[in-house]
Structure 1
Amino acid sequence: MQGESCERTLFISKEINEEFDENTWTDHTMALRYANLSADFDRYVTGETIPVGMKPYDKGDHAFIARISPPEYGVWAIRSLAPKPALRVFGAFCERDVFVALLSYRRTDLGGRESRSWAQARENTIAKWNNLFPGENRLLGDKLDDYFSEKAIIV
């Protein structure tokens, strides 16, 4: 028996949408990878309970979405873990329960958590946001319920 659903909205950028086009793949093993990413996106919008990493460097391994350091920048990443290569889909909340997915990266390409690659991915996400939504702020908050109205747990 399924629990009651909740409403969440996920917008994806043109770049992420194009990544689902199999004609752009040089490695066709990516079909399973992107099928799982699509399932992860469905998990968000269909109202499943979402494990959330509120602390960038202190979160459970099974966090579905996590804030990127520093939290006051308002950048998050959906963590699509299986199959390898794991992906990180960077984006931001524009309002409670509404996430805008902007850019994706293979986790292996990001290096260690304090690497220049992580910082560059964060800055690229901010630049993409500012380009798409000039003058609009990303949602900022300190509490889980600033971002999720229901069905989210801190891990």
Structure 2
Amino acid sequence: MEDRLGILQADLEQFAEGRTIDPKYLFLLYPATEGVWEIRSLRPDPSIRVLGFFAKRDVFIATNLALRENLGGWESREWKDIKRLARTRWGHLFHTYNPMVSTNLSELVTGTIDGKYFKT
């Protein structure tokens, strides 16, 4: 797992370094009105999801992570629990500050390519 977490760190640095972002990497979780995003670290197995919010443009605050294999389908109890945990942690850290919530990705991130970043 130590090697896997090193790869996760490299995946997170992709965002920090301002590289091109696509929907395989960054995805807005349902419902979009909550503003919970996931960064996907897909390879190698196990796939890891890092949840968080945008504080301002190009500033993603990661709140928690989970192994994808433990989450089940996107409407499962496990997904609901990790999204709730993300919102709770944001509230504890920034209780007077709301995250940016938008489906217009250009308002949140520089350097995105066209694609579907959320479920409609």
TM over 0.5: yes
Residue deviations 1:107-155 (CA, integer Å, cap 9, x gap): 011111110110111011000000010121010112121111x311133
Q: Is the 8 A contact 1:78 1:90 kept in 2?
A: yes
Question: Is 2:62 the partner of 1:91?
Answer: no
In structure 2, the partner of 1:6 is none
TM-score with structure 1 setting the length? 0.72
- Give the share of equivalent positions with the same residue, in percent: 36
Matched residue count: 115
> 1:127 is aligned with what amino acid?
T
In structure 2, the partner of 1:23 is none
> 2:13 is aligned with what amino acid?
D
Please list every run of at least 4 consecutive aligned residues from structure 1 whose deviation after the TM superposition is greater than 3 angstroms.
none
Q: Is the 8 A contact 1:91 1:101 kept in 2?
A: yes
Paired residues for 1:140-155 under 5 Å: 140-148=101-109, 150-155=110-115
- How big is the alpha-carbon RMSD for the aligned residues of Structure 1 and Structure 2? 0.9
Structure with larger Rg: 1
Q: Which has the higher contact order (CA 8 A, sep 6+)?
A: 2
Unaligned runs of 5+ in 2: 116-120
Match of 1:127 among 78, 82, 88: 88
Unaligned runs of 5+ in 1: 1-29, 53-62
TM-score with structure 2 setting the length? 0.92
Report the 3-state secondary structure (helix = DSSP H, G, I; strand = E; otherwise coil) of the residue aligned with 1:89: strand
Paired residues for 1:1-155 under 5 Å: 30-52=1-23, 63-148=24-109, 150-155=110-115
**Counterparts of 2:78 and 2:45 in 1: how far apart (Å)?**
19
Report the 3-state secondary structure (helix = DSSP H, G, I; strand = E; otherwise coil) of the residue aligned with 1:154: coil
